[in-house]
Amino acid sequence: MTSQERISKVLAGEIPDRVPLCEICFWPQTVERWKKEGLPEDIAPLDYFEMDHISGISFDGTFQLPVKVLEDTTEYRIETDGYGRTLKVWKGETYSPPNQVDHILKEKKDWEELKQKLVPTKERIPKEMKTTYENLRKRRDFVYLSPDEPCWFVLERTMGFESGLPKMVEEPDLIKDMIDTHTGFILKMCEICIKEGMKPDAIWLSSDLCYKNGMLFSPRTYRALVMPSLVRIKQFCREQRLFLIYHCDGNVKEFLPLLIEVGVDAIQPLEARAGNDVRIYKKQYDNKITFFGNISADILSLDKEKIREEVESKVSIAKERGGYIFHSDHSVPPSVSFQNYKFAVETAREIGKYGNF
């Protein structure tokens, strides 16, 4: 089976030849370490380990504001981006996201001006995106299109958490208008991408609406302000025959029922250190949603006995009747050795086979 066929089967609730073996992100420092430990210089980790390719494409979903460098030192650079955020970007070998210094949207009148900039046009599609898409298709990758998730667009891209979270209570009409407007914008952009010959296999939404103890706000607030957006996106996916994958860090225990109710096809990455356990979720929800990840990167940094226990116990339960994709519980840090990760993948490949193939 190709990566596209194998992953599609799992997301459709069917049984493939084996559990798909995926990894979205290896830290740059991890790859550098592995090259010293045996990874050939000219082979990417996914290809060396013979894992499945799941690859993304995306359009420009910003306000298309000017990018400016405000300060540039030997340690960091402070700049503005297309969303109007002020970011502190660290230099050197540190692998970390930029610090968010400021956001452009302070009050309702700012939104009235900014929303006019969310105009869906094919000019928002990067020039190289069609070529990238065609190359991914030639390789038989599973391809996803990744627009900003609308609530994340509000909280992380546009307002910032310190301002955005209180406004969900203080100014719910503003938040709902932002989410609804943005939803319409991204769906129109997805339509344009498809019309331009770049139909993906799935829409991938990334929105870290949970932290280690649960959701950032109540399920009731999610239902009122955010869920209608997800329902619209899922309906679009049904009409276009696309899967819907949702990335959310943190503990998703109370979030899962909401995603299942809407019909989300997969939840990723199921951070183990935040308290998620696919063995428990599988017994609780069976195949109502595909579980994607949950292999603890912390345990991948330990000895092989513990790695085998982690992989075998989770894969053997989660793969029952389909509905599981192997992946770390976030990304692969440099604390994980080349041999350890190789052993984890080999174990998952062994345990993840289905008897009908």
CA pair distance 272, 326, nearest whole angstrom: 13
DSSP secondary structure string for all residues of 233-259: HHHHHHHHT-EEEEEE-S--TTTHHHH
Q: What percent of the chain has pLDDT over 90?
A: 96
- What is the model's pLDDT at position 92? 78
Model confidence pLDDT, tens digit, residues 182-240: 999 999 999 999 999 999 999 999 999 999 999 999 999 999 999 999 999 999 999 99
> What is the CA angle 329-150-197, rounded to 5?
85
CA pair distance 292, 300, nearest whole angstrom: 17
CA pair distance 198, 128, nearest whole angstrom: 12
How far from the centroid of its chain's Cα atoms is residue 287's Cα?
Answer: 20
Instruction: Walk me through the domains of the chain, giving residue ranges and CATH numbers.
Output: 3-60+108-351 (3.20.20.210), 66-103 (no CATH)
pLDDT exceeds 80 at position 267: yes
pLDDT exceeds 90 at position 18: yes
Residue 184 dihedral angles phi and psi, to the nearest 5°: -60, -40
Residue 101 dihedral angles phi and psi, to the nearest 5°: -90, -40
Amino acid identity of 314? K
Q: What percent of the chain has pLDDT over 70?
A: 99
- pLDDT tier, 96 (very low <50, low <70, confident <90, very high otherwise): confident
* Mean pLDDT, range 261-265, rounded to an integer: 99
pLDDT exceeds 60 at position 357: no
Outline where DSSP puts E strands in the chain: 54-57, 68-72, 76-80, 86-90, 99-102, 142-145, 202-206, 210-211, 214-215, 243-248, 266-269, 290-292, 324-325
Structure token digits, residue 116 = 């006019």
- What is the model's pLDDT at position 135? 98
* Mean pLDDT, range 17-36, rounded to an integer: 97
pTM of the predicted model as reported, rounded to 2 decimal places: 0.96
pLDDT exceeds 70 at position 315: yes
Amino acid identity of 213? N
Name residues whose C-beta falls within 8 Å of residue 255's C-beta, 6 or more positions apart in sequence.
Answer: 209, 210, 214, 215, 219, 222, 248
Least confident span in 2-11, 47-56, 93-102, 279-288: 93-102
- pLDDT tier, 97 (very low <50, low <70, confident <90, very high otherwise): confident
- What is the model's pLDDT at position 356? 63
* Mean pLDDT, range 107-122, rounded to an integer: 96
* Mean pLDDT, range 156-178, rounded to an integer: 96
- pLDDT tier, 355 (very low <50, low <70, confident <90, very high otherwise): confident
CA pair distance 97, 37, nearest whole angstrom: 27
